[in-house]
Each structure stands twice: as C-alpha cells, then as structure tokens.
A and B are shown apart, each in its own frame.
Chain A
C-alpha cells in the first residue's frame, strides 16, 4: 500500500519573477501528528528550497508563523494536518499585510502601531532600583492578565475587515496592549496612550466585528479590550463636559 499523502497549495510570490502571486501545489507525506509548519518544513528541506516562510519556536509562543490556512488566520505550528486530511490544505500569507515573498509579510506598519501605544509601564516618577519591587496583588494582576498573553502573531489583524477597509486603524493587538497597561496598577501612562487609543484611528475605527477575538490563539480577547476602552473614553468625554470636570 502506498503511503498516504496530502496536497498543500501554497501561495507563492517571488518579486523578481512573479508579477502577481500564484498558487503552487506540493504533495507531502501525510502524518497525523504533523502540523502545517512541519509540512512547510518538509517542502523546504526536500522538495523546494526556494519556499520562504517565517517560524521560530514551533510551540505557539513566538508568534512568527501566522498564515491563512484555508482562509482562516492560524499559527501554522498549531494547526494539525489531520484536521484537514484527506482534503487539501491551502496556505496563504496573512491577509491585510503586503507580501514580501511567498508566505512572508511586511510587518513594519504593525510594529509602528504597536510602539505608538507605548506598551510598557510608565510611572509618575522615575523609580530608582533601590525603591525595591513595585508590588501588585494577585487580584490586581488578574484584572489584566489575559491581555499580557499576546504573542504579537498578527492573526487578529488578518481577521479584522476594518484593517483592510481602513488601513490606518491601530488594530486589535496594539489596542489590547494599551488597555493592558492602562489597567496595570503600577502604570500612570493612560493619558499619553489615550492620544492614540481614543483617536479616530484608535478604538473608534472598530465596529465590533469580533473576529479578532475568535481567531486569537491566546484567548487575549482584543475585541473586549477595545469595547472597554470605548466606554472609558466616552465616560472621559462626558466628565469633561461637567463644570467640575477638567
């Protein structure tokens, strides 16, 4: 009996020769404990060395191997062939990102957006190391812990139709991180972050499609973070109208 095989259709784009991206079909051995990344690695090692894709940890931690698998944004290290076999698996670079080459996308815009929300603890005054630990209770930690789980895999950006329709949108992961630091009891940087987060390109470009949270491999729930930021920003706006508001 012949060994079982699976067909993998991969979107290829070689900027030096391809005018437009084209699909290329590869036949790989089917292995029930292989993930899509294993199949891609098999192609690279044994069939076609020119295929380009990103990966690093192979354990859903580094966030580099996000691709579209049969139209869904997924981590290729986290998606088993057995869930598709004997059907075909179609692999494309993440939607809403320019293609650099094959499955590799250009992530510069995402990186800039991420940095724009100042995703780090900003304290009122500089704390010298001699001040010791900045204590926080487990309850305080729990109020934002889920938002710390983000691995910057950008699956949520690929899932979000607003990202495609209004490319200036700051986007789910960056806004979730802004929310994460705003909720952090050690942080005093909310006002600085609000300049971006509460702007039109911030939370107000979001129409609550909710797809970001559905595809997130880390249960971060960026959609929730964005809606909470909308409510808090609206409260700010009303407060500013009051005579004793600032």
Chain B
C-alpha cells in the first residue's frame, strides 16, 4: 500500500482583469456598460418632462440646452450604445422566449424579426403622434 497523501486543493484567484483579453467577456462587459448610457438618457427625458410641467419658458430653455455641442455628443454616444444594447438583446430573445406552435419550433430568426417589427411599429406610431 502506498502512503496516504494529504490533500491540499489549490484555489486560483480570479484576476480583476478577467473580462479583458477574452472577446466574449469583453463583449459582455460592453453590453453591461450600455445600461449607464441608457439610464443617463432616461434621466434627460425625465428632466425634459419635469421642465415641460413647469411651463413653456422652462421647456424652451431645456430644448435650447439640448442644442449645445456637449448635449449633441452625448446623444450620439447614447444612440450608439442604445443600438448596441438593442441589437445584442434582440439577438438573444429566441433563447429566453422560444416559441412552439404545435409540434414545430418557431425559428429563432422569426422571433428576432418580430422584435424589430414591433420596434418599428412603436417608433412610427410615436413619431406620428408627436407630429399630430
């Protein structure tokens, strides 16, 4: 019989930089980061609504402030992140919401396309309402 050896399991620490260096983790972190810009954009809208409730002068000042280069740069950046957020999440929807019709599984692309269709309809309706 060989001697019984002591066990000494070795635990490797997870490096703080775990999300750098591997594409799939970096991609995930960027997707998570997009929520900051979407949150900031939601705040801007809330401020706008609040200014609107204060009357036309206050709202006019708010709209003027949006014309500044800083505001435009922020909106462009937020748009890029919002698109990234939307496209990546829509791409994942078939996993979260698989659809079965009788014995058949609805193909994932159909679910993704349906999301874009709803997005388009909602956006178009909003624009129409806003113009009216």
Contacts and interface: CB of A to CB of B under 8 A. Distances in A.
Nearest to B103: A139
A124 interface: no
A235 to B, nearest CB: 12
B96 A13 contact: no
Please provide the 3 A-B residue pairs with the shortest distance between their CB atoms, ordered closest to farther. A227-B96, A98-B9, A224-B95
Contacts of B8: 15-16
A214 interface: yes
Interface string A197-237: 00000000001111101100000010110011011000000
B32 interface: yes
Interface in B1-43: 5-12, 14, 18-19, 22, 24-25, 28, 32
Contacts of A106: 9
Nearest to A98: B9
A224 B98 contact: yes
Contact of A161 (B6, B9, B19, B100): B19
Interface of B: 5-12, 14, 18-19, 22, 24-25, 28, 32, 92, 95-98, 100, 102-103, 105
B96 A228 contact: yes
A20 B92 contact: no
Query: Which of B8, B10, B19, B22 lies at the interface centre, i.e. has the most chain A CB atoms within 10 A of its CB?
Result: B10
A95 interface: yes
Contacts of A143: 100
Nearest to A208: B92
Contacts of A87: none
B97 A139 contact: no
Contacts of A164: 14, 18
A142 B98 CA distance: 13
B32 A207 contact: yes
A98 B22 contact: no
A20 B10 CA distance: 8
Nearest to A15: B8
Interface in A9-55: 13, 15-16, 20-21
Contacts of A96: 14
Given A15-B7, A16-B5, A165-B14, A209 B25 contact: yes
Contact of A211 (B11, B24, B97, B98): B24
A143 B9 CA distance: 40
25 contacts: A15-B6, A15-B8, A15-B10, A21-B12, A71-B22, A96-B14, A98-B11, A98-B12, A99-B9, A99-B10, A100-B9, A139-B102, A139-B103, A161-B14, A161-B18, A161-B19, A161-B25, A208-B92, A210-B24, A210-B95, A211-B24, A214-B24, A224-B96, A224-B98, A230-B96
